[in-house]
Amino acid sequence: MKLTDLLGLALSRLGTGKMRTALTMLGIIIGVASVVALVSVAQGATKGISDQLQSLGTNLLTVSPGATRSGVTRLSFGSGTTLTLADATALSSLDGIQAVAPEITTSKLVVAGSQNETASIIGTTPGYLSVFAYKTWVGTFLNQASVDNNLRVAVIGSTTADNLSLTDTSIGSTIYIGGLPFQLIGILQPKGGTGTEDDRVLIPVSTAREFYTTTTSVSAIGVSATSQDTIDSVSAEITYALEQRHGITSTGSDDFTIATQAQLLGTVSSVSDVLTLLLAGIASISLLVGGIGIMNIMLVSVRERTREIGIRKAIGARGRDILSQFLVEALVLSLAGGIIGIGVGVLASFGIGTYAGWGFVFNPLTVVVAVGFSLIVGVVFGVWPASQAARLDPVVALRYE
Amino acid sequence: MSAAPGEPIIRLEEVSRIYDTGKVQVPALVDVNLDVAKGEFLAIVGPSGSGKSTMMNILGCLDRPTAGLYVLDGQPVDELDDDGLAFVRSRSIGFVFQSYNLLPRTSALENVATPLMYQGVSKKERLRRAQAALERLGLGDRIHHEPSELSGGQQQRVGIARALVTEPALILADEPTGNLDSHSGTEVLNLFTDLHALGRTIVLITHDVDVATAADRAVHIRDGQLREEVRA
């Protein structure tokens, strides 16, 4: 039999029981839609996180002090005091390094006019801007002179500016950080993301040391490599330089840690792969249930149409003609369900993506896989009822009431 | 494949059909010999339980004899596989059933065209031939009606059109008037007489001796055995 004949038979049959056809397809529609939507959600979430990490700068390395020990207890990561401003200065002379930004981090009450908030205060150097990929929105950033002269000047993030009701006209005004007056010299452009990167106050590292800490240690040193490709060699260089400076032999354990964005991205992507698989797996269960729905309907249909099968055989249909007829019917059901399911899934992922703010992520591969899956479901769950139909004895089938 | 000149369309030699129910063996046909010549109109008459239906199934290639030789239109069919039997049914046999056996929710035109679909005839050609067959049987104005919208007599004429559309060597009619009122029944029998006059080979299976008189030869079947009728 020709495919067009088989399709004609399937479509006219499915057209005569529209409600049954719709309900049978609904199982596949829900299955495929959930696969498409959940995979898209997983990928959208991953993209959202990766974009944030990318916005931090992909050629960024963060050097953190190692954990300290109190007796036998290992204190939290980064709690050490092993990194110093001198280390940061030393790193800036290494090859392949674009900029270095030490960070002395503390938290203080910031007051501007009648507004106040407790903000994260970071003492740093002019390199901070390029290392962490910030841009100034208005005013200027910290310069070398402000660091050399321990100036009380501050640059604030966009969220901090909003919280304190500071705008472009506020440049030059005085804000109070931990009770000390600072001159506001600049406001940063927002980076987006979760917002914590936009909620901070930057002051010269020398000023921070003078007023807010007692030691020479820094919380972290941000380093940007000249390119993403040299990250690994730069990381090795920094390790060697710091081991030399800290007097650590190659067998001793380092008192610092270097984290790269690439590592973070790698972690995120492996987590998201697992997440995607997990969600797709859950969604596949509904696809399976939809397939069983098709098999159920096809079995009922074979039973109901036993006499029709007998007639067809009497007037010349071979077993394989009957098999093809029922199989094509199951395939049309599952494929039509699959295509509608893709539509519903794409709409759902568009809605979720828009609501969650990572935009619409759509992977054409998902469509291919979903269509392929629904075809497989059609064949797998259609073949058995169809072969039941094909094997019917025409004598028995013709007498069936 | 068709019978050589002078060869019968149907030749049964010592054909038996025994149903094996596991405990007992039930003989439905026993050593049946029958020749049907080309262009003959034969009636096979017998009460229910006589082996009539088995005869119909064997002749119609819906079932195989357990013993004996069956040659249809020059083709020995007793050893064909299922696909082979389907091929013979498709090319050589046109069935007319007591309960019409039209496909439900399917127009008269599509019903008549369906046997041609299984022969692989193109859609355009088979609709043309189906329409011609329906027009020959006076149903030209009913081609788009579904079986449920037709009277019994009309449904049986659609059934006959379906049997004729493939130009089969043999028309096999199983109680074709059994579900019809006497007027429609007479009409249908007249149709068979007309077809016979046009040279068609027809085997009519019935329990009704009166119906059998429409045929030019009758054989009686009883307890699975055939007996030639001697006509006065």
Give me the tens of pLDDT residue by residue for chain A, a chain 401 residues long.
Answer: 888 999 999 998 888 889 999 999 998 999 899 988 888 888 888 888 777 777 766 788 888 887 655 555 555 554 567 888 888 888 888 888 888 999 998 889 999 988 999 999 999 999 998 888 888 999 999 999 999 999 999 999 999 999 999 988 889 999 999 889 999 999 999 886 666 788 999 999 999 988 887 777 888 899 988 887 788 888 888 888 888 888 887 666 778 888 887 777 788 788 888 888 898 888 888 888 888 888 999 999 999 999 999 999 999 999 999 999 999 999 999 999 999 999 999 999 889 888 887 777 777 888 888 888 888 988 989 999 999 999 999 999 998 87
Question: Does A319 sit within 8 Å of B83, measured CB to CB?
Answer: yes
- C-alpha B215/C-alpha A26 separation (Å) is 56
Helices (H) and strands (E) in chain A, counts: 13, 12
Query: Looking at this protein, which amino acid is placed at residue B127?
Result: L
Report pLDDT digits (tens) over B139-161: 999 999 999 999 999 999 999 99
Largest Cα–Cα distance in chain B?
A: 54
Judged by DSSP in three states, B115 sits in helix
Give the relative orientation of helices B152-164 and B123-136 as an angle to the nearest 10 degrees: 130
Task: Mark which residues 78-117 of B lie under 8 Å from A by CB.
Answer: 82-83, 86-87, 89-91, 95, 97, 101-106, 114-115, 117
Report pLDDT digits (tens) over B9-44: 999 999 999 998 888 999 999 999 999 999 999 999
Phi, psi (degrees; rounded to nearest 5) at A259: -115, 135
Where is A41: in which H helix or E strand? Answer: helix A18-55
Residue B63 touches chain A, beta carbons under 8 Å: yes
Where is B39: in which H helix or E strand? Answer: none
Choose from B82, B92, B124 for mutation: most chain A CBs within 10 A. B82
Question: Does B91 sit within 8 Å of A319, measured CB to CB?
Answer: no
Which of B219, B218, B224, B114 lies closest to B158 in space, CA to CA?
B114
pLDDT at A395: 92
pLDDT at A69: 52
Q: Supply the mean pLDDT for chain B.
A: 92
Q: Tokens in use for A293?
A: 């729905």
In A, which residues are within 8 Å of B82 by CB distance?
A: 318-319
Pick from B104, B106, B162: which is nearest to A315 by CB?
Answer: B162
CB atoms within 10 A of CB A168: 10
| Residues in CB range of A233: below 8 A, 6 or more apart | A96
Report pLDDT digits (tens) over B83-131: 999 999 999 999 999 999 999 999 999 999 999 999 999 999 999 999 9
In B, which residues are within 8 Å of A317 by CB distance?
A: 86, 90, 118
Judged by DSSP in three states, A217 sits in strand
Question: Does B166 sit within 8 Å of A314, measured CB to CB?
Answer: no
Task: Mark which residues 12-31 of A lie under 8 Å from B by CB.
Answer: 12, 16
| Residues in CB range of B156: below 8 A, 6 or more apart | B96, B100, B176, B177, B179, B180, B184, B188
Query: Looking at this protein, which amino acid is placed at residue A165?
Result: S
Within chain B, where are the H helices?
Answer: 52-59, 82-92, 108-117, 123-136, 152-164, 182-197, 209-212
Contact between A132 and A259 (Cβ < 8 Å): no
Residue A321 touches chain B, beta carbons under 8 Å: yes
Choose from A2, A306, A315, A325 for mutation: most chain B CBs within 10 A. A315
- The average pLDDT across B207-226 equals 92
Q: Which residue is closest to A317 within chain B, CA to CA?
A: B118
What is B10-228's CATH topology? Rossmann fold (3.40.50)
Q: ipTM higher than 0.85? A: yes
- C-alpha B85/C-alpha B101 separation (Å) is 20
- C-alpha A202/C-alpha A156 separation (Å) is 6
Polymer length in residues for chain A:
401
Listed by start position, the domains of chain B span: 10-228
pLDDT at A98: 87
